[in-house]
Structure 1
Amino acid sequence: MKAQTMKAATAAKKLGIYLPAAPDDFRDREISRTELDELTANPPEWLRALRADGPHPRDVVARKLGVSNSGLARGGVTEALTTAEIKALLEDPPQWLVDERATQAAVRAENARVKQRDAERAARRAADGDRA
């Protein structure tokens, strides 16, 4: 039976790293599920360094900045950022980042409100069902 493999891009996404910054011997081949598990369990120095210092892929940048991927695009961030660049943005946030973080906070609050409302409705339905 052939080992299950994935493209390097898929493995990089699962590892949360920016593929172009990975070593050539990682980027230029298929990665087996076993290798991915080993990289996850015992990350080599290059992987630890990429995770710590970057450059980071867009989804990681967005998460670290507390915005959505769309918010990054609206802010004009199209390239991968390093940890130092992310830290600099957080220390002295430009207006787009302040606005996007506020938008993200409002979205999270609305999602929490809807979840609470749905839970209350479900509880009422369950209580009404008990009376029937």
Structure 2
Amino acid sequence: MTSQQNAQTMKPATAAKKLGVYLEATPAEFQEGVVSRTELAALQAEPPQWLQDLRNNGPHPRPVVAAKLGISISGLARGGVTEALTTEQIEALKAEMPEWLEKERATQADVRKESVRIKQMQAEKANKAEKPEKNEK
């Protein structure tokens, strides 16, 4: 019995997500085919011009837009942003700084602070749990 290795492939939507690009803005041949893990690795290692342009100028998918604005994806939805945005549109939003964006950035900052506080509390708790064990030895 011989084991035959098949190249693992993924749908274009999955590959676009892994590449951090908006699928609808990719070339037609990318959208219509399947992408192997080898092809994905090649695209990541040496991105073609179309991929470089998409990463630099957009349109960007919502997770990238949210990250560039410093807010959550839910914050984008609450702000009424449901479409992919270009880098230019993102920069315009930052410059304009509407009230919803200011509020969402503050919310995101609070969430990050709380995450740090919880991690520190868990680390302290783990340290306290280790100390009795050290004393027993």
Aligned partner letter, 1:112: V
Matched, 1:116 2:106: no
Matched, 1:82 2:93: no
| Structure label with greater radius of gyration | 2
* TM-score, normalising length: structure 1: 0.97
* Aligned-pair Cα RMSD in Å: 0.8
Partner of residue 18, structure 1: 22
Partner of residue 31, structure 1: 35
How far the C-alpha of 1:44 sits from its partner, in A, is 0.4
Aligned partner letter, 2:106: A
Aligned partner letter, 1:10: T
Partner of residue 65, structure 1: 69
Matched, 1:98 2:91: no
How far the C-alpha of 1:106 sits from its partner, in A, is 0.2
Unpaired stretches in structure 1, ≥5 consecutive residues: none
Unpaired stretches in structure 2, ≥5 consecutive residues: none
- How many residues get paired? 132
Runs of 4+ in 1 over 4 A off after TM superposition: none
Q: Give deviations 1:62-84, integer Å, cap 9, x for gaps.
A: 01101101000000000000001
Equivalent-residue separation in structure 1 for 2:119 and 2:36 (angstroms) = 39
